[in-house]
Amino acid sequence: MANLFVIPKYIFTGKDALNLASDNIKKLGKKALIVTDDMMVKLGSVKRLTDLLDSISVNYEIYSKVNSEPTDKMVSEGIEIYKNDNCNFLIAVGGGSPIDTMKAIGAMITNTGKITDYLGKVIPNDPPPLVTIPTTAGTGSEATQFTIIADTEKNIKMLLKGPNLMSTIAIVDPVFTSTAPPKVTAATGIDALTHAIESYTSRKAQPMSNIFALSAVKRIFKNLLRAYKNGDDMTARTELSIAALEAGIAFNNASVTIVHGMSRPIGALYHVPHGLSNAMLLSECLKFALLGAPEKFCDLASEIGGYKEGMSYIQAGKVFVGEVEKLCKSLDIQTLEEFGVNKGLFFKNLDKMTEDALASGSPQNTMRIPSSEDIKDIYKALWK
């Protein structure tokens, strides 16, 4: 079977990656639109970038009104600045939210109509060059062809895609993640772990994505708790930033499965951050998925040293799922109840959530394809 494998054109990783990328950035044009959020401005992360741009005589404008739920309105505001100020390319500094917003702005510079017109379609025309600088070791958006934007009229999260939404340059410099507080480190790290596990156990997994998925799982198990406990541990931060990139590469080429499919409705209805809603679902979903891919879960157990000679695939898979549970516990992942979701409302919304989860198409990539009853049972199990 033939497979397509898509990655960014240039990837810079490790300490001082930003400096190493300067010649490549300079070639992209005279003026950049920087897309970011206020936190990145406050923390000095944007200044780190603008200092570099000043030193290589690249001009810039800054759009910093992104928050943790990117919307079509933010995209329109960004487009206006880009066009009014005659920018030539875009740079995102931030977590998945500013990166996704930047991709959508880029798409709408070269494509007609509104961003909401492209739901369910592939973005046709190439955007201007896109530079991504992730500040969370999480979404992997720096290496994906996806952007998730809320349609504020219909109140849904749109997943938009196109291979041309891939970064021209991904700069994965751990210095940008070092300021992430423990809660953000935990949730975004589990998001990356979810990408890696889902892509490895997906029906769409391919040899090239498997390499990146396994490597990401190993790095995350070794380093996530370390970075959570000590945000200044730069070895752990560096490893995690690479793991998130690997996991992004993996799921970009193999798709996500049941966890992400079920996670989006929780995010849309109760405003639970993306990584946290994945973390809440992870253990129950993996217990379900394990029965459809025991050999794959056994590989995952081996990767983290959980496989012992003589174990059956299922036994080893259970060890892996148990280790994921332990990790989530050590990271103090909140339950839905602790987050403040209303149980009555959650149960009232079960049918809609189940429909939306299945409509996303992601659960169907799981080796054991869930029925709507299965999905409902997993949602209910989150309240046990």
Ligand X SMILES: NC(=O)c1ccc[n+]([C@@H]2O[C@H](COP(=O)([O-])OP(=O)(O)OC[C@H]3O[C@@H](n4cnc5c(N)ncnc54)[C@H](O)[C@@H]3O)[C@@H](O)[C@H]2O)c1
Which DSSP helix (H) or strand (E) runs through 146? strand 146-151
265 binds ligand X (CB under 6 A): no
- Which strand (E) or helix (H) includes residue 246? helix 234-254
Among 132, 147, 164, 277, binds ligand X (CB under 6 A): 147
Nearest to 366 by CA among 276, 254, 269: 254
Which of 37, 100, 191, 299 touches Fe ion (CB under 5 A)? 191
The distance of closest approach from Cβ of residue 48 to ligand X in the complex, given in angstroms and rounded to an integer, is 11
127 contacts ligand X (rule: CB under 6 A): no
Q: Which residues of 6-33 are buried (b: 16+ CB within 10 A; e: fewer)?
A: ebbeebbeeeebbeebbebbeebbebbb
First to last CA, the chain: 42
Among 71, 111, 141, 238, binds ligand X (CB under 6 A): 141
Which of 129, 138, 306, 363 is close enough to bind ligand X by CB under 6 A?
Answer: 138
Nearer to Fe ion, 63 or 251 (CB): 251
Burial class from Cβ neighbours inside 10 Å (0-12, 13-18, 19+) for residue 139 reads: buried
In the set 71, 132, 144, 365, which binds ligand X (CB under 6 A)? 144
CB atoms within 10 A of CB 338: 10
Distance CA 89, CA 100 (A): 15
Instruction: Look up residue 324 and give its two tokens.
Output: 């994921």
φ/ψ region of 120 (left if φ > 0, alpha if ψ in -120 to 50, else beta) reads left
Q: Residue 272 CB, nearest distance to Fe ion (Å)?
A: 13
Q: Which stretch binds ligand X (CB under 6 A): 85-93, 136-144, 220-228, 285-293?
A: 136-144
| Interface with ligand X (CB under 6 A), residue from 71, 132, 139, 201 | 139
The least CB distance from residue 126 to ligand X, in Å, is 18
Query: What amino acid occupies position 321?
Result: V
- Please pick, from the candidates 21, 37, 250, 261, the single residue that binds ligand X as defined by CB under 6 A: 37
Stretch that binds ligand X, among 78-86, 125-133, 176-184, 314-322 (CB under 6 A): 176-184
Q: Report residue 172: phi and psi, to 5°.
A: -105, 80
Q: Which is nearer to Fe ion, 238 or 362 (CB)?
A: 362
CB-nearer residue toward Fe ion: 82 or 146: 146
Contact residues for ligand X, defined by CB under 6 A: 37, 39, 43, 68, 70, 94-97, 100, 135-136, 138-139, 141, 144, 146-148, 176-177, 179-180, 184, 188, 191, 274-275
